[in-house]
Amino acid sequence: MNKKDTLTVNAGKVKIGGKNRITIQTMWKKSLENFDESDLKEIKRLEAFGCDLLRFSVPNQLSAEILAGIKKDIKMPLVADIHFDHKLALECIQNGIDKIRINPGNIGAEWKVREVLSAAADNNVPIRIGINTGSLPKELLDINDKAEAMLLASENEIEILEKMGFKNAVFSLKSSGSEDTVRANRIFSQRYDYPLHLGITEAGPLTAGLVKTSIALSKLFDEGIGDTIRVSLSDSPLNEVIAGREILRACGISDYGVNIVSCPKCGRSTFDTHGFLSSVYEELYLIKKPIKIAVMGCVVNGPGESADADIGITGSGTKAVIFKDGKIIAKVDENKCKEEFLKILNGL
Ligand code: SF4
């Protein structure tokens, strides 16, 4: 990808834009009001799986206060997502949040947006202007061309930003359709240098959402467009992070972590490749360095794929053969294959 050299903003330790790598975001899916120790562990787990930024809905004062407490325990930059009440954005900025997302379509009067921008400028906090076809400003609701409506919404916001000399901004133009999203982002990128947060909004359940998002993002990446992504799925934040990683890998943008080649299973298989893969799934996705793994179910394609991977396992009946760097290094019984495979993996 010959990435467009957009403006760079700093969300805490993470740089978004310019020639910096494309970052992966997800969103916390529960109410902050019930936040507990197990949630803190879950956030640290998201970070370990490659999440760069985590966004929280902040619908009230209590949520803003709880988010300020979480911020003290988490290294990953955190983003406050504010709708309707600009005072919550001001509160989060004061509390040291790393980035704010607002949707100007529902923040209300221009002076409120100005107050948020002014506080953000004083505290060097970037703002994402998140334009979404589901919540466009009232005066744009009758426009049938949703890409055009998003572009008009962004023009209005840029006018306010530029009058204030505020450049520390990221934009997103999201629709639930790939076509509108691609067209809006393409035209935006031709007109402006602000970094773009890409995604399909309300993309759907895991498979459907991943397909829609991949198609849109791969077109935009081919044109050098995109600085940070979120895959918005009706699924867990963890799967959103893994989906983001897989899209960047499939588009040839990132080689971070594991590349899994695995047998889909057919009537020939006698080894439970799906069960084996599930049993080592977490360990595989926690690896940071580029590595290719093959998990195969029979002798048709198994030895070839396993030999081509950094580590491969091919099962047949109650036995499995483990390959490392193209050579067979172990033959194990089915009930020992996970233990042996992880020992070899951890020794890399
Ligand atoms: Fe079938 Fe073997 Fe291919 Fe798996 S690897 S799908 S078992 S032919």
Tell me the best of 301, 305, 314 to mutate to test the pocket of ligand 1, counting ligand atoms within 8 Å of each CB and taking the most: 301
Per-residue pLDDT, 279? 96
- Mean per-residue pLDDT over the chain, rounded: 95
Nearest to 317 by CA among 347, 279, 281, 273: 273
Q: Is pLDDT at 216 greater than 80 in this prediction?
A: yes
Q: Is pLDDT at 348 greater than 80 in this prediction?
A: no
pLDDT band at 221 (very low <50, low <70, confident <90, very high): very high
Q: Ligand 1 in contact with 275 (CB < 6 A)? A: no
**Residue of higher predicted confidence among 139 and 100:** 100
Atom of ligand 1 nearest to the CA of 263: 4
Per-residue pLDDT, 107? 83
Per-residue pLDDT, 106? 81
Q: Ligand 1 in contact with 300 (CB < 6 A)? A: yes
Atom of ligand 1 nearest to the CA of 264: 6
Q: Is pLDDT at 255 greater than 80 in this prediction?
A: yes
Per-residue pLDDT, 329? 94
Residue 221 to residue 1: CA distance in whole angstroms: 6
Q: Are 89 and 65 in contact (CB under 8 A)?
A: no
- Classify the C-alpha dihedral 252-254-260-265 as positive or negative: negative
Q: Is pLDDT at 48 greater than 90 in this prediction?
A: yes
Q: Ligand 1 in contact with 237 (CB < 6 A)? A: no
Share of the chain above pLDDT 70, in %: 99
Q: One-letter amino acid identity for 261?
A: V
For atom 2 of ligand 1, the residue with the nearest CA is: 298
Report the DSSP beta bridge partners of residue 332.
320
pTM: 0.95
Average pLDDT on 310-318 reads 93
SS3 call for 19: coil
Per-residue pLDDT, 109? 85
Q: Give tens-digit pLDDT for 149-202.
A: 999 999 988 998 998 899 999 999 999 999 999 999 999 999 999 999 999 999
Residue 215 to residue 228: CA distance in whole angstroms: 16
Q: Are 216 and 13 in contact (CB under 8 A)?
A: no
Q: Give tens-digit pLDDT for 258-288.
A: 999 999 999 998 899 999 999 999 999 999 9
Tell me the best of 270, 296, 299 to mutate to test the pocket of ligand 1, counting ligand atoms within 8 Å of each CB and taking the most: 296
Atom of ligand 1 nearest to the CA of 266: 1
pLDDT band at 320 (very low <50, low <70, confident <90, very high): very high
pLDDT band at 136 (very low <50, low <70, confident <90, very high): confident
Q: Is pLDDT at 299 greater than 90 in this prediction?
A: no
Q: Ligand 1 in contact with 269 (CB < 6 A)? A: yes
Say how many Å lie between the CA of residue 149 and the centre of ligand 1: 49
Say how many Å lie between the CA of residue 331 and the centre of ligand 1: 19
Residue 147 to residue 211: CA distance in whole angstroms: 20
User: 208: which residues sit within 8 A by CB, 6+ positions away?
Assistant: none
Say how many Å lie between the CA of residue 335 and the centre of ligand 1: 20
Task: Pull the structure tokens for residue 193.
Answer: 């240098």
Per-residue pLDDT, 103? 80
Task: Pull the structure tokens for residue 118.
Answer: 């002014």
Q: Is pLDDT at 62 greater than 90 in this prediction?
A: yes
pLDDT band at 55 (very low <50, low <70, confident <90, very high): very high
pLDDT band at 28 (very low <50, low <70, confident <90, very high): very high
Per-residue pLDDT, 108? 81
Q: Ligand 1 in contact with 298 (CB < 6 A)? A: yes
Per-residue pLDDT, 81? 96
Task: Pull the structure tokens for residue 96.
Answer: 């040291």
Start-to-end CA span in the chain (Å): 30
